[in-house]
Structure 1
Amino acid sequence: MTILLLGGTSDIGTALVRRICAGQRVVLAARDTPRLPEFPDAASVETRTFEATDLESHRELVESVGEIDTAIVAFGILGDQERAERDELHAAEIADIDYRTQVSMLTVLASHMSAGKIVAFSSIAGWRARRANYVYGSTKAGLDAFCQGLADRLHGSPLELYVARPGFVIGSMTEGMKPAPMSVTPDDVADAVVERFGRPGTFWIPRRLAVLAAIMRIVPRCIWRKMPR
């Protein structure tokens, strides 16, 4: 049994692998392979150098792993909203890594894997773009929409897609930022994903975040544009 973690230094991805790796072969794909975590419970751990923006390398990497039972797509960047508003290259970089490259990798995985599980990560940020982080939020909105279509394509097949929609995640990516209401940790997200296994689809983390999401849809725009991150 093989677990592929794309984004080998991801807080959430690492936490999830730790929960399911006992006796499994683990393959960690990341740009910075010397910084990869250890998984003592795994039967074996391999590494692959992974540059997400090199789309032509995606299929080669996946095929080099061989048969995959669980693929976790956990790479991405938060970016700097203020910088992105004045630096078009940075805005495009966020869009490239958080949407375009993930679409590519998810497409490769869905065509390579005949059965098993694919885990992708959306976000409350993509539910309704906010002035405070609309560049990042727009990429999550696009990724979420793509995953809904991909889930419909895979429905009824042996290949299952799990799309997690967490709230604000307190971790290395958001270090120094003030947590939002109903914030979660990487461990919270990992626990929720494992609990969800067996029931593919899209789910909020925590579950009560669905109530906040429903309210977000009806907040008048004149108020919404003033909402913090």
Structure 2
Amino acid sequence: MKDAFGTPQSLLVLGGTSEIALATARRLIARRTRTVWLAGRPSPALESAAEELRALGADVRTAAFDALDPGSHETVLGKVFAEGDIDLVLLAFGVLGDQAHDERDPAAAVRVAQTNYTGAVSAGLLCAQALQAQGHGSLVVLSSVAAERARRANFIYGSSKAGLDAFAQGLGDALYGTGVHVMVVRPGFVRSRMTAGLPRAPLATTPEAVAAAVEAGLRRRAETVWVPGALRVVMSALRHAPRPLFRRLPV
């Protein structure tokens, strides 16, 4: 259960090597979170992340999780929740893909969609059921401003995030009143390994800034969080721009 200050005592990260997720975990551990599950594909990076968090004082466990294998999700997540209540699930896995390459290789484009959307639907529903069964908890879903309107430069990634975003909002409505809180986080361009080598975008942010926004959103039980906050206005304008104009914008 959350402590008297509203800090989750236990955290499950789906996408255990995500820079945003790990920055969030570090902040929460500093605030009293003591049990952390890092779920992801077994790798040296996953073990290194676990060791880093253990050094901060948390009891950290790992679980083998593959977004592209939804048939295994029920077993994997069932084992995690069987170990005890989870106060916070952070759904943080996803891939950017390579737009130019993926347009020429439909199978690669499908992998982006399956990772970012299909895998998230499977894991999200299973975690929601488990949280509802225990009667409390939060599910934080990392979406993207790319979900707001598909752009020529990254419509494969953007469309997968649009599906994820709509799913998470609907799931939040379905769980309203059950004691389970769903929060959608929409960061802009995040300077991280995933975006290394890409031109820096306006209003770029960092994993640490997103983590701070996640923590603040949890405290006020927000349903949608933009990082940085100015993107709410920017994306509203872009979403409503006439299509002929939108096509000419350098976005």
- The reply to whether residue 129 of structure 1 matches residue 139 of structure 2 is no
Could you tell me whether the CA contact under 8 Å between 1:26 and 1:42 is conserved in 2? no
Map 1:91-170 → 2, pairs under 5 A = 91-114=109-132, 115-170=136-191
Map 1:1-20 → 2, pairs under 5 A = 1-20=9-28
Q: Which residue of the other structure, out of 78, 87, 107, is the alignment partner of 1:63?
A: 78
TM norm structure 1: 0.95
1:50 Cα deviation (Å)? 1.3
Looking at structure 1, the residues matched to 59 and 24 of structure 2 have their Cα atoms a distance apart, in angstroms, of 16
| Structure 1 partner of 2:6 | none
Could you tell me whether the CA contact under 8 Å between 2:11 and 2:33 is conserved in 1? no
Matched residue count = 229
Looking at structure 1, the residues matched to 205 and 77 of structure 2 have their Cα atoms a distance apart, in angstroms, of 30
Closer/same/farther in 2, CA of residues 15 and 222 from structure 1, 3 Å limit: same
| Structure 1 partner of 2:3 | none
| Structure 2 partner of 1:202 | 224
TM norm structure 2: 0.87
CA deviations 1:142-197 (Å, max 9, x no partner) are: 11111111111111221111110111111110001112111111011000010111
The one-letter code sitting in structure 2 at the alignment partner of 1:213 is M
CA deviations 1:26-76 (Å, max 9, x no partner) are: 111111432121112243111111111111111111111122111111111
Closer/same/farther in 2, CA of residues 154 and 87 from structure 1, 3 Å limit: same
Percent identity, please: 43
What residue ranges of structure 2 are gaps of 5+ in the alignment? 1-8
Could you tell me whether the CA contact under 8 Å between 2:10 and 2:33 is conserved in 1? no
Tell me, what secondary structure is at the counterpart of 1:113? helix
The one-letter code sitting in structure 2 at the alignment partner of 1:76 is G
1:121 Cα deviation (Å)? 1.0
